[in-house]
Amino acid sequence: MMWCGINLHWAYTDLLSYIKFKVSCPHVAKDILHDAFIRYTVSASPHKEEEPHAYMRSIARNLIVDAYHNSQRFLSLEADIGLNREWLDAPALSVEQLNDIRQRLEMIQQILEQLPPRCRQVFWMYRVEGYTHPEIAVKLGISKNMVERHVMRAILDLSGARELISE
């Protein structure tokens, strides 16, 4: 069965198997395949008509890379804090512990607010939004070296705060 020049049997067997092999999760693989169909549909590339299967495979490959980058950017709560079943059954945090956490977060927020605006913007783009140094450099019109300096300054300021917090 064909759809927009794509053999659906090929897409749901060969291409899906390739994606599953790369991402190791059948659910993510199906999401990537469906996203590839959408991108293929909206694409206006001339290569789409010449070699539809090769073009579809390259879209899938790019989506696999995007999925990998997203998985590196965000950690699940379980992975981040080593959450296990015993932790869920543990009693809630005390008022003192919650106040301590709130104070630490406020200190971090103050440090970030004291950074120069461009430094804070670069750090936010890098650590929160997940942009790479070259991407930030292009978006902000600054050198990659300057991006690295901004990130290092923010990290050093926050590291200094970590030492103060742990005392």
Cα separations (Å) of 158 from 110, 150, 152?
10, 12, 10
pLDDT of residue 157: 83
Please report, as a single letter, which amino acid is at residue 13: T
pLDDT of residue 163: 60
pLDDT digits (tens, 9 = 90+) for 115-144: 899 998 998 888 878 889 999 999 999 999
**142 by DSSP, 3-state: which?**
coil
Residue 121 has a CB neighbour count (10 Å cut-off) of: 15
Q: How far apart are CA 68 and CA 94, in angstroms?
A: 38
Please state which of the four CATH numbers 2.40.160.40, 1.10.10.10, 3.40.50.1220, 2.10.109.10 is assigned to the domain occupying 91-166: 1.10.10.10
pLDDT of residue 72: 73
* 53 token code pair: 């299967």
Domain boundaries, the chain: 2-73, 91-166
DSSP class per residue in 71-113: HHH---HHHHHT--HHHHHSPPPPHHHHHHHHHHHHHHHHHHH
Residue 11 has a CB neighbour count (10 Å cut-off) of: 21
Q: What is the pTM of this model?
A: 0.44
Indicate if the pLDDT at residue 161 is higher than 60: yes
pLDDT digits (tens, 9 = 90+) for 90-102: 567 778 888 887 8
Residue 55 has a CB neighbour count (10 Å cut-off) of: 21
Percent of the chain whose pLDDT exceeds 90: 16
